[in-house]
Every structure is written in structure tokens, then in C-alpha cells.
């Protein structure tokens, strides 16, 4: 949040898709897992809502920051000793 002279900056909504696939192996004692987050990798817009309508209007609102965070992929293996 800004001070008296600095307007608040908002984050515009964007489509976001995550995926997780898991497979039990080794008599269900082991598990392989694949995770992918932010698959679409759309840019995030941070803006000043100049027309006060609670949404980002390109050309009307002031764009403060445009950033892509990237897609993250991880693969893991877990084993339960019991």
C-alpha cells in the first residue's frame, strides 16, 4: 500500500492452470509425482485503477508492472519404510 500521495497497485486476474500426476509403485510403498504449475505462463499485470471499477482496463488504467513468473515443473519420489 502506498502513502497519502501514492495510489494502491492492484493485481489483475489471469487464467492459471496447475497439474499434478501421481503413481503408486513398489507395492504402494513408493510414489512418483510430477507437478507443473502456471502451465499457461500468462503475464501478470499490476495496475492503478484510475476509473475505480475494480478491474484492469487496458488503455484506461495505469499499468505499473507487467511480469511473467514462468512455468515450474518438479518430479519427486517418496518411499514409505513403515
Each residue's pLDDT expressed in tens, for the chain with a length of 82 residues: 556 788 899 999 999 999 999 999 999 999 999 999 999 999 999 999 999 898 899 889 999 999 999 999 999 999 999 7
* pLDDT value, residue 30: 96
Whole-number Cα distances in Å, 5 to 1, 8, 34: 11, 10, 47
* pLDDT value, residue 1: 54
Prediction pTM value:
0.69
- φ and ψ of 56, to 5 deg: -80, 120
Amino acid at each position: 500500500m502506498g502513502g497519502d500521495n501514492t495510489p494502491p497497485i492492484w493485481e489483475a486476474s489471469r487464467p492459471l492452470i496447475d497439474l499434478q500426476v501421481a503413481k503408486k509403485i513398489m507395492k504402494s510403498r513408493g510414489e512418483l509425482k510430477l507437478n507443473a504449475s502456471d502451465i499457461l505462463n500468462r503475464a501478470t499485470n499490476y495496475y492503478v485503477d484510475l476509473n475505480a471499477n475494480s478491474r484492469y482496463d487496458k488503455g484506461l488504467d495505469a499499468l505499473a508492472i507487467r511480469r511473467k513468473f514462468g512455468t515450474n515443473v518438479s518430479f519427486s519420489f517418496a518411499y514409505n519404510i513403515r
